[in-house]
Structure 1
Amino acid sequence: MAYVKATAILPEELISEIQKYVQGETIYIPKTVASHQKWGTRSGTRKLIDDRNALMKRAFKNGRTIDQLADEYYLAIETVKKVVYSK
């Protein structure tokens, strides 16, 4: 998260109004709910994990054991169970 000077982006009237409540402090202004993205969406990590999980489910349906999948994907057995038994 990069810091931006308020004077560079906000109108002077708004800065004056904010200064009634906060002066010389760092404040965080959250995104709106509509612009929030789920974890890994921007980086593509979510898609990679979803694709991996789909491959694991398919392999399990085709006869691979949970132990084999845990070894192949370097995951704990409980993690593999969560993946293959989830809907």
Structure 2
Amino acid sequence: MRYINANKILPKELILKLQNFVHGEYIYIPAIEDQHKHWGERSGSREEIDNRNLEIIEAYTSGSSIQDLAEVYCLSVYAIRKIIYSKSD
């Protein structure tokens, strides 16, 4: 998350009003509930991880061992199990 100077985006009247409550401090303004982005949605990381996890599950169901998958994907055996069993729910 990056910070934006309020003077660049908010009207002066609103800044003056906010300064009645807080000044010289950082303030977090949450996203509107239906506009909230989950982790990795902006960068595409979430989609990459989801695709990787599907590859792992497909490889496992095709006969690859958990140990082999851990080595191929540089993950722990525990992480591979977690991926495989979380998708079978």
TM-score (norm 2): 0.82
SS of match in other structure, 1:79: helix
Matched, 1:70 2:70: yes
In the other structure, the counterpart of 2:30 is: 30
Q: What amino acid is the match of 1:56?
A: I
Instruction: Among all aligned residue pairs of Structure 1 and Structure 2, give the percentage whose two residues are the same amino acid.
Output: 43
Stretches of structure 1 lacking an aligned partner (at least 5 in a row): none
Deviation for aligned residue 1:56: 0.8
User: Which protein has the larger Cα radius of gyration, Structure 1 or Structure 2?
Assistant: 1
Q: Which residues of structure 2 form unaligned runs of 5+? A: none
> For residue 37 of structure 2, what is the amino acid of its counterpart?
Q
Residues paired across the two proteins, number: 86
Over the aligned positions, Cα root-mean-square deviation in angstroms equals 1.6
- Equivalences for 1:1-87 in 2 at 5 Å? 1-4=2-5, 6-87=6-87
